[in-house]
């Protein structure tokens, strides 16, 4: 036997392999690309910034063309998808998506590069995103950090939004609960959009597979145990199953506008719909909540099939939500 062959510890195909020496193969990552002074398709400028040195957190920030200091524009803080264990704020597909979203929304966008599991198991990723959002909000304070001029001079902090897709939508949900409970340096989150949110639970709902043995082989189940092996309650931890009995009240979501989008063929479609109805029943006092379902499409299609007409329409829908 070749002594150089690494021993496999676990794998969740087609996404990731983890070896006993601690190394990881991420099998579906999009290539990393540099930021651009002016994206040739959208005219959006981007650059990479350091949010925190300890813990190490970075981000890519996007500025639409012709944005001046006044009138100031909305701000979107974004959390990318990838099951908490792959993809990047600096990847080709994420950069393509952010450029288009920033242009169409005419908003500054900052995409947080949070730590990935399994090297950095949850809840580290949640903490990174919260730290990143706090750093962003600090730019609203007179005499504050003012580290990033695109934030301190171009942004209307009364129009702060958060958003994410898949695991990033899960991150956004948990950030909203924390913002509602703890506050955010005096800044209020105006709105949030959750696109194809990665939620799950032990009890099947809707069209989900009913057989428990088969359910435990699903990526939605296996990924969670890989990225958060010490999660209290396991697959029914409220961070993954926001409607579980005994979890935090969804009335505490810290925003006034909420958009949830699902896709007809998505394996987590029913969880997104269930979440929407649970928020409606919770007593949440927001001014607007909307559920949008895209027929004939699958999980994260607007990023993975970013040239399609349907993808363009969904991006426009998300952009029009940011007002």
The model's pLDDT over 228-261, given as tens digits with 9 standing for 90+, comes to 999 999 999 999 999 999 999 999 999 999 999 9
For residue 198, the model assigns a pLDDT of 98
Q: Which own/partner pairs from 37-45 qualify as long-range (CB within 8 Å, at least 24 positions apart)?
A: 38/65, 39/99, 41/99, 41/100, 42/99, 42/100, 42/102, 42/103, 43/103, 44/98, 44/99, 44/102, 44/103
Closest CA to 197 of 216, 231, 174: 174
* Residue recorded with tokens 């009335």: 251
pLDDT of residue 68: 72
Tell me what the pLDDT averaged over the chain comes to: 95
Does 145 have pLDDT greater than 60?
Answer: no
Measured in whole angstroms, the distance separating CA 182 from the mean position of its chain's CA atoms is: 20
Domains in the chain, CATH or no CATH each: 36-321 (3.40.50.1820)
Indicate whether this model's pTM tops 0.75. Answer: yes
Predicted pLDDT at 121: 98
Residue 105 in tokens: 């929304």
Q: What pLDDT does 274 receive? A: 98
Write phi, then psi, for 136 (nearest 5 degrees).
Answer: -60, -50
pLDDT in tens, 254-282: 999 999 999 999 999 999 999 999 999 99
Q: Tell me the CA distances in angstroms from 251 to 81, 117, 254, 277, 314, one per residue in order.
A: 25, 30, 9, 12, 27
- Report whether 73 contacts 81 (CB < 8 A): no
pLDDT at 1 over 50: no
Give 69-106 pLDDT, tens digit per residue: 678 999 999 999 999 999 999 999 999 999 999 999 99
Please give the order of strands across the beta sheet that includes 8-12: 8-12, 16-19, 24-26
Helix (H/G/I), strand (E/B), else coil: 172? helix
Q: Which helix (H) or strand (E) holds 9?
A: strand 8-12
Beta bridge partners of 50: 58
2: pLDDT strictly greater than 90: no
Which residues are marked as active site? 166, 266
pLDDT of the residue at 301: 97
Distance (Å, whole) CA 127 – CA 175: 9
5 falls in which pLDDT band (50, 70, 90)? confident
Is the predicted pLDDT of residue 122 greater than 60, yes or no? yes
Q: What is the pLDDT of residue 139?
A: 93
Q: What is the DSSP letter of 273?
A: H
Rounded Cα–Cα distance for residues 58 and 44 (Å): 19
């Amino acid at each position: 036997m070749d002594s150089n062959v690494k021993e496999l510890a676990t794998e969740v195909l087609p996404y990731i392999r983890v070896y006993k020496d601690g190394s990881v193969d991420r099998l579906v990552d999009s290539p990393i690309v540099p930021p651009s002074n002016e994206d040739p398709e959208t005219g959006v400028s981007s650059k990479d910034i350091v949010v925190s040195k300890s813990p190490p957190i970075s981000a890519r920030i996007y500025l639409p063309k012709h944005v001046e200091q006044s009138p100031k524009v909305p701000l979107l803080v974004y959390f990318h998808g990838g099951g908490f264990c792959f993809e990047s704020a600096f990847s080709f597909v994420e950069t393509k998506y952010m450029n288009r979203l920033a242009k169409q929304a005419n908003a500054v966008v900052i995409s947080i590069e949070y730590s990935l599991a399994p090297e950095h198991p949850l809840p580290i990723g949640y903490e990174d995103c919260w730290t990143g959002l706090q750093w962003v909000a600090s730019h609203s304070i007179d005499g504050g950090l003012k580290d990033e001029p695109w934030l301190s001079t171009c942004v209307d902090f009364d129009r702060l939004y958060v958003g994410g897709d898949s695991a990033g939508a899960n991150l956004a949900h948990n950030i909203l609960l924390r913002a509602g409970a703890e506050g955010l340096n005096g800044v209020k989150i105006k709105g949030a959009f959750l696109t194809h949110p990665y939620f799950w639970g032990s009890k099947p709902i809707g069209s989900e597979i009913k057989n428990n043995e088969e359910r435990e082989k699903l990526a939605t189940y296996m990924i969670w145990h890989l990225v958060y092996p010490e999660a209290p309650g396991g697959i029914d931890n409220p961070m993954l199953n926001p409607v579980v009995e005994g979890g935090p009240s969804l009335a505490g979501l810290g925003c006034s506008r909420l958009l949830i989008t699902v896709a007809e063929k998505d394996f987590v479609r029913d969880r997104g719909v269930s979440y929407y109805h649970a928020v409606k029943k919770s007593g949440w006092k927001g001014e607007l909540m909307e559920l949008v379902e895209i027929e004939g499409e699958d999980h994260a299609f607007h990023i993975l099939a970013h040239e399609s007409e349907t993808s363009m329409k969904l991006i426009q829908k998300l952009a029009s939500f940011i007002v």
